[in-house]
Amino acid sequence: MNSALKLLPEDARLERSSARRRNAPESIFIPKIVCPPREGKATWKFGVFGGMHGDEEAGILASHELADWALTLPEELQDFELHFYPVCNPTGRAVGTRHSMGGYDLNREFWVGSSQPEVAYLEGEIRRESYDGLISLHTDDESAGIYGFASGALLSQQILEPALDAADKIIPRNPSPYIDGFAAERGIITEGYFGVLSAPPEQRPHALEIVFETPDYIRMELQVQATVAAVKTILSEYRRLQAYAPNL
């Protein structure tokens, strides 16, 4: 058994239930929730993306919880404008599958000239909004602990470390030196798959890009709590570090 999994109490573990099966919708609708800054014009604009894989519910639930929090205009978000895309793969979610109903892993289709409508819409949104940061929320059915991918801006890895620390209080990190086929250090991966959701290749300055992953075998409530803690920490750390290293 993975050492990270051993650290969890018995009631925190959860065997995956069978995937949900529902009738697929006749049209594709990707919801977007815009949370304005507390006052005035935002200093930074972030996009948060959940449900890119239809069978990963934790990111969807966490996106909604975070949006509810942001809409209360908390002091912590006074200079942020947050855009939430809770369900990026609505047809996959409808039938409970990783891939879209068209049979595509949408998270391998970005910036490669994809014909998939979900990808075309999200690429248009990302290019038009020119986000300072993109946070993708995922679940891994093979990992025993939390981990993340850091890319884009030079600050990404520095911000992911405290975010994992915050989430580690709820679900331990995956301690493996190799995660998802990539070299990892303390749950941080600095490589990644081709075609994943990211800022446009030509965007300057580079956006912060972080992917946060929770283990699928952990109780959903804990996955959501860990994800919310990680995202809140990413935002607070981004503000703190920008004071010392703007536009990295």
In whole angstroms, give the CA distance from residue 115 to residue 129.
21
Mean pLDDT of the chain: 89
Q: Is pLDDT of 65 > 60?
A: yes
Percent of the chain with pLDDT over 70: 88
pLDDT band at 15 (very low <50, low <70, confident <90, very high): very low
Measure the CA–CA gap between 34 and 84, rounded to whole angstroms. 6
The DSSP element (H or E) to which 136 belongs, if any, is strand 133-140
- The contacts of residue 28 (CB under 8 Å, 6+ apart) are 90, 91, 117, 118
SS3 171: coil
pLDDT level of residue 24 (50, 70, 90 thresholds): very low
pLDDT surpassing 60 at residue 19? no
**At residue 10, does pLDDT exceed 50?**
no
90 close to 27: Cβ distance less than 8 angstroms: no
Q: How far apart are CA 184 and CA 171, in angstroms?
A: 17
Domain locations in the chain as residue ranges: 29-242
Q: Percent of the chain scored above 90 by pLDDT?
A: 79
d(CA 33, CA 83): 6
Give the domain 29-242 fold: Aminopeptidase (3.40.630)
pLDDT digits (tens, 9 = 90+) for 100-130: 999 999 999 999 999 999 999 999 999 999 9
Distances from the Cα of 234 to the Cα of 16, 110, 125, 210, 227, angstroms: 28, 23, 22, 9, 11
Q: What is the pTM of this model?
A: 0.89
Average pLDDT over residues 83-94: 98
What is the length of the chain?
248
Token couple for 217: 């075998």
pLDDT band at residue 142 under the 50/70/90 scheme: very high
**pLDDT at residue 201 tops 70:** yes
User: Is 50 exposed, middle or buried (CB count within 10 Å of its CB: 0-12, 13-18, 19+)?
Assistant: buried
The CA distance from 178 to 187, in Å, is 9
Question: d(Cα 172, Cα 143) in Å, to the nearest integer?
Answer: 11
Going by DSSP bridges, is the β-strand pair 147-152/188-189 parallel, antiparallel, or unpaired? Answer: parallel
Q: Answer whether 148's CB lies under 8 Å from 190's CB.
A: no
pLDDT of 27:
80
